[in-house]
Amino acid sequence: MPNLATWMRRSDEKYFAPFLSRYAEVKVWNAAQGNVPFERMNGLLLTGGPDVAPEFLNQPVPDPSVIEKDVNPDRDRWELNAIKSAIEGRLPIFAICKGLQTLNVALGGTLHLDIAGHNLPDQKTHDVQPLRSDRKTRYRFEKVNSSHHQAIDKLGVGLEVESWCASDDIIEQVKLRDYPFALGVQYHPERGKIYDELFDDFVSRLRNSLNREP
C-alpha cells in the first residue's frame, strides 16, 4: 500500500476526497491530524493554504500587511522538512497553490508577495484563466481555475517553468529538472473536472516508489 504524506486543512478535504477515493490503495497521512512517519512515505502532496510565514521566506517583507493573518509556522516547518526529505529520497512530489510557493521557497526561490487579478471569485472553481505553455510541457491546459494572491518571483534551484498566465506571465506551472516527478501548479486541480491526468500520473509514481523499496 503506497503511503502519501500531506498537510491538509479540514476545509480542503471535501475537494480532494473525490480524487483520493479513486485510489483506495493509497493511505493518506495528514500531518495536520497527527504524526507522519516520513521514512515510510512514498510521496508528498503539498496542498493549498495560507501564506508562507515570513520567518521562512528568502526575502524581506517591506509591507507586513500583505501577509495573511492566519499563517501557520508549524505547518511551514513541517512542509519544508518534508520537501527536503522527499527530494533526498527522490519521492514524487505534487505541489498545489500554496504548496507550489512552499516548494519554491524550499529550493531557495522568492515570491511576489501580493499580486492583482488572480483572486477573483470565478477563478476559485471555474477554469477561466487562460494559460500559455512551453512547447515541451507535458500537461497543457488552455484555461485553469487559478486563485491566489502570491506567486513565484525568483525560481528555486532546479525548477523550470512550464506554463504562465497568458495575460501577465505569472508562473502557473513548474517542474523540478532532472527529477523523476515533482510537479508544481498554482491552480487548483482538486477543484476541477479536467485534471484527472495529473492525479493519475502522481499516483502511478507513488506505486513506482513503493516498488523501488528494498
Name the residues annotated as catalytic. Answer: 97, 188, 190
Contact 203, 28 (CB under 8 A): no
Spatial separation of the C-alpha atoms in residues 194 and 24, rounded to whole Å: 21
CB-facing half-sphere around the CA of 35: CA atoms within 13 A:
3
Give SS3 for 38: helix
* Phi, psi of 199, deg, nearest 5: -70, -40
- What are the beta bridge partners of residue 173? 163, 185
Give the angle 202-4-72 at the CA atoms, nearest 5°.
105
Interstrand relation of 3-7 and 27-30 (parallel, antiparallel or unpaired): parallel
Give the angle 41-49-198 at the CA atoms, nearest 5°.
55
SS (H, E, C) 112-171: ECCCCCCCCHHHCCCCCEEEEECCCCCCCCCEECCCCCCEECCCCCCEEEEEEECCCCCE
Q: What are 63's three cell numbers?
A: 509591507
